[in-house]
Amino acid sequence: MQNCGQLSDAVLDFQSELLKVEFEGRAVLGAFFHMRRVFGNRYYLSFYRLRAWLENQFLIRCSGGEEEMTIPLDGRFRSLEQIERRARHLFFEHHLQIEDPSDVRLDFLFNAEAAEVLNR
């Protein structure tokens, strides 16, 4: 079991990433998954709600070459690496000019950026 200091640090790291002026979506999601690992299953419902909120706030823009595709965030995964792997493979499957999934660039779009993409 984690001590109280580790739990507090994880929550504060997540909050800090959300409040940054130069908002980095990947860092927010990384902090979320770290916090989820630290807390384990102790607060399942809280993490379920937070995950659902994040899924509604983020889109993933995949690009490679001259092609681009936007996909929703799938929070069922347990790590940021799993989300990135899925996004790269989805893009790779639909864009045959990409030679390797690792060549796919990912940008995590948050709320206003995501709304702008959806309204195009």
pLDDT for 116 = 63
Q: Is the dihedral of CA 111, 32, 104, 72 positive or negative?
A: negative
Q: What distance in Å separates the CA atoms of residue 26 and residue 73, rounded to the nearest whole number?
A: 11
pLDDT for 12 = 84
Spell out, as residue ranges, where the chain has pLDDT lower than 50: 1
Q: Is 1 helix (H, G, I), strand (E, B) or coil?
A: coil
Q: Which residues pair with 23 in a beta bridge?
A: none
- Classify 96 in phi/psi space as left (phi over 0), alpha (psi -120 to 50) or beta: alpha
Q: What distance in Å separates the CA atoms of residue 79 and residue 93, rounded to the nearest whole number?
A: 22
**What does DSSP assign to residue 76?**
T
Q: What distance in Å separates the CA atoms of residue 118 and residue 114, rounded to the nearest whole number?
A: 6
Indicate if 77 and 102 belong to the same structural domain: yes
Least Cα distance to 110 among 24, 5, 35 occurs for 24
* CB of 63 closer than 8 Å to CB of 105: yes
Indicate if 67 and 49 belong to the same structural domain: no
Looking at 37, 57, 77, which one is the last position of a domain?
57
pLDDT for 112 = 65
Indicate if 63 and 113 belong to the same structural domain: yes
pLDDT for 41 = 78
Indicate if 111 and 70 belong to the same structural domain: yes
Indicate if 112 and 63 belong to the same structural domain: yes
pLDDT for 113 = 61
Looking at 57, 79, 102, which one is the last position of a domain?
57
- Domain membership of residue 31 as a residue range: 4-57
pLDDT for 82 = 94
Indicate if 66 and 16 belong to the same structural domain: no
Task: Give the number of domains in the chain.
Answer: 2
pLDDT for 76 = 86
